[in-house]
Structure formats: C-alpha cells, structure tokens
Structure 1
Amino acid sequence: MGLRRSPLSTMNRLALLCAAAGLILSTIACQVNIGGPEQPGEVIPLSTETAQEVEEAWQSALTSAALTGQLTLLLTESQATSLLQQRLESQAKPIMRDPQVFLRDGVIRVYGISQRGFLQASVLITVAPRLEPDGSVYFDVTSADFGPFPVPDAVRQSISAMFTEAFTSPLGALATGVRILSIAIADGQIAIVGELR
C-alpha cells in the first residue's frame, strides 16, 4: 500500500514554491542592469583618507601661495575619485554611485552607476575645464551618456556646478583673490596653476 499525500500538503508545498519563486523574481527585478557605456580604464581605489589628502593639498597650495604668490595644485585620479565620492555621499539623491574619475587627454571622464527605480545603467560623463579671461574656472559637461536614460539639461548643469564647486570651494574667501592661469589634465593627473592677484 503506497502513501497518499493529502491535498492540503500539496497545496502548502505549491504555495511555498510560488512564494519562493516570487521572492527570487522580485529580488532579480530590483536590480535590472540595462547597460550603458563601458568603464574607460582600470578601477581607481578610493578612501576617506585620500579625500582628506585633497583638503591637505589645497591647504598646502594656499599656504605656499601666500608666501610666493604662486598657487600650484596637483591631484591624482584616486584623489579626484575620493573627493567626488565624498561629494556624492553628502547629497540626498546623488545622480550616481561608485564614481571613477579618469584624468586623461585634457578632460575629466566620470564613470559610475545611475539607478532609477529598479533599473540601473552605467554612466559616462565627460567634463572639460573652461578658463575665463579673469582667471576664474568652470567645469562644463561636454557629453553625458546615461545608457538609455535621457540626460536633462538640469542634470548637466548640476554636474557642472558640482565639479566647479569641488575644485574652487577650498579657495573660499580667497577665490576672488586668486587668478587661475592654467589647467592641465593628462596621464591620470590634473594640475591647476594660479597666482594671487
């Protein structure tokens, strides 16, 4: 005589199986990667200590400028990446996560991940420095690839403002007293040279 399963036991198993399948599918759906641009280089390490190095580099450059009249700041990709990560973490709704800042060929390329609801895509933003005749500097978004997501002008302006603020806010009250003479971006570094007015 074989064992007979009760209909209740079969129903419980079916319900449990459906619940487990639903849980697995909802987990997968929570993070659907829909593509986007490729990362333009190797992964750049970041840390809070490296972000602190940027603050120290600015302070050193400003101290030196007070003595010599010349301001020179040199930042690496790791320092710029850590600085951007710190800025993004301070925002309520950051435009991306896991940023990587590549300083090459005269431009800043920022790679990261953007998420809208359960969809996520890789992002590549190209930012170029713009030096004004009065010695002020701005950073303009020249291209923005958010995968299949459209990039509104407000987002471009926000990114430009974030970079401009990140690179000029350490000057603080001295900003009007410093004239930037040149900005060079190459080989994983950005060099900013200026003088006191």
Structure 2
Amino acid sequence: MNFLATAAIALAMSTDAFAVAIGKGAALQRPQLREALRTGAIFGVIEGLTPLLGWALGHAAAPYVDAWDHWIAFTLLGVLGLRMIRESVSADEDEEDKPQRHGFWLLAITGFATSIDAMVVGAGLALVDANIFTTAGAIGLATFVMVTLGVMLGRGLGRIVGKRAELMGGLVLIGIGCLILYEHIGR
C-alpha cells in the first residue's frame, strides 16, 4: 500500500471521531486547547490500537481466505463506507451525543465506539500486503489531529460539518476498496 492510500485510510478512519468531537466541542462552554488535546490523545491512542487488534485477528484467518482476500477487503471497506454515508445523511439528533462533561471513561468508550471501523479495516489489511504498524500509526495520528480540531471547531460550527466529513470518509473507504479490488483483479 502506498503513502497516498495509507493517508486516505487514516483520514477516512478519523472522520467519525471528528464528527463526534465537533459535538463534544459544541457541548462545552468555550472548550480550551488543553481539553481538545486531551480528547484528541485519548481518541488517537484507541483509534491507533484497534487496527492492530483487527489485523491480528485477520492475519490468523489469512491462510484460509487467500483466494478471496481482495473481495473480503473490498466488501469490508464498502460496507463501512456505506454505513458512514448512511449515518452522515441520517437526521437523528440525539441529546446523548452532547455529554455534560468530558470524563476519561466516557471519552474512552466513545473513542472505542468510533474505532470499530478501524478494527475492521485492520482485519481487512491483514488480507493484503500492507504495513499495519505504519497504517495504525497514521490512523492514530490523524485521529489525534482531527479530534483536537473537531473539539475546537465544535463550539462554532455545530454538527453539520461533522456529518459532511463522515460522508467524505465513507466515499474514501469505498474508493479504497475499489482500488484494492482493481489492483488484485488486474494482476
């Protein structure tokens, strides 16, 4: 996997956390940079670790699915992309997305919930030739930056930007899935 594909996956994986961070920033009274950095670090570490877990699980299954690996990666990325697109256009406005405070465990659970897709991507990457450590590090770093920015932007921009970011992330995931399929079929 090349640098551009790795960067695209990292950006796509961080968009749902970015959307959540905007909501969290909007819920606070003028969030400070310190709170944004703390939130970004918690989300970034979790988002960086989950692809490693997914990769380990996917790697264990790789010998059994070698002939179908590109189809599996294409399907996983496509389904995740479609899920992100669906969520980006959904109209539900839950008050649960706006916590009263940013406690560590609430942030950790929310960070894990937004990183399930990164775990699935890690499992898919175990089936293709990709450096999982580089990819996981890029996902963690991108998430740290995006969440930190999201918290700071949240106080002024609201949730609409987050929904658009999630839409773009879904489209990117589908595009990467198509690229993986094209590269393997074209061999």
> Could you tell me the TM-score, scaled by structure 1's length?
0.28
The structure carrying a bigger helix percent of its residues is 2
Q: Which structure shows the higher strand fraction?
A: 1
- Give the number of the structure whose alpha-carbon radius of gyration is greater: 1
TM-score by length of 2: 0.29
